[in-house]
Amino acid sequence: MDAEFKNEFKRLRVIIQNFELSTKKNLAKEIAKLATKEEIAKLATKEELAKLATKEEIAKLATKEELAKLATKDEIDDRFMDLTKHFYLREEIDEKFAQMYTKDDHAKFMIYVDEAFTEIKEFRRNRLLSENQLVELDDQVANHEKRIRTLEKTTTP
């Protein structure tokens, strides 16, 4: 998807650049930067240029209707902005994805869980031992009471 997006982005950039260069105002500025009128006049005369292509030949290339069907500068700008937003959204998604829960995070979590369950098992084992001791103490107390009663009965006249 990224390669497709980059290619579309480059293609639209070229279209925009070509569109801007094709306007008379920008074309005049570009030509003025490149050469003077005298230098341009030396390159080709009107007659020489006329030999290159006639109006009819140029008209065969594209009609006004066909050119009207092409995207306008505003449409290209809108598409360019959409693609730019998509590009920045993609970067944000990549950043969020990089911050997501990783295998290392999961390994750390599992270590904490393992330690917690080990403590719980140890607590249960200690509780069972304590309960067993209490049961034994209860039995000893009950037996002790019986022995004391027996001793009291035998020692009293």
117 pLDDT band, cuts 50/70/90, is: very high
* pLDDT mean over 69-78: 78
The H-or-E segment that residue 34 falls in is: helix 24-34
User: Which of 18, 12, 17, 31 has the alpha carbon at shortest distance from 82?
Assistant: 12
Q: d(Cα 107, Cα 146) in Å, to the nearest integer?
A: 58
**43/109: higher pLDDT:** 109
Is the pLDDT assigned to residue 41 strictly greater than 90?
Answer: no
* pLDDT mean over 131-157: 84
Q: For residue 34, what pLDDT is reported? A: 67
Dihedral sign, Cα of residue 2, residue 4, residue 7, residue 12? negative
Amino acid identity of 45?
A: T
* pLDDT mean over 43-72: 70
Model-wide pTM > 0.75: no
| Angle, CA of 103, 95 and 79, to the nearest 5° | 140
Q: d(Cα 124, Cα 122) in Å, to the nearest integer?
A: 5
* pLDDT mean over 41-53: 69
Task: Enter the DSSP assignment of 99.
Answer: T
Q: d(Cα 57, Cα 71) in Å, to the nearest integer?
A: 24
**Of the ranges 41-50, 67-76, 81-90, the best mean pLDDT one:** 81-90
Is the pLDDT assigned to residue 157 strictly greater than 80?
Answer: no
Asked whether the beta carbons of 5 and 87 are under 8 A apart, the reply is: yes
**Percentage of the chain surpassing pLDDT 90?**
16
Q: For residue 143, what pLDDT is reported? A: 84
Residue extents of the structural domains in the chain: 2-100, 102-157
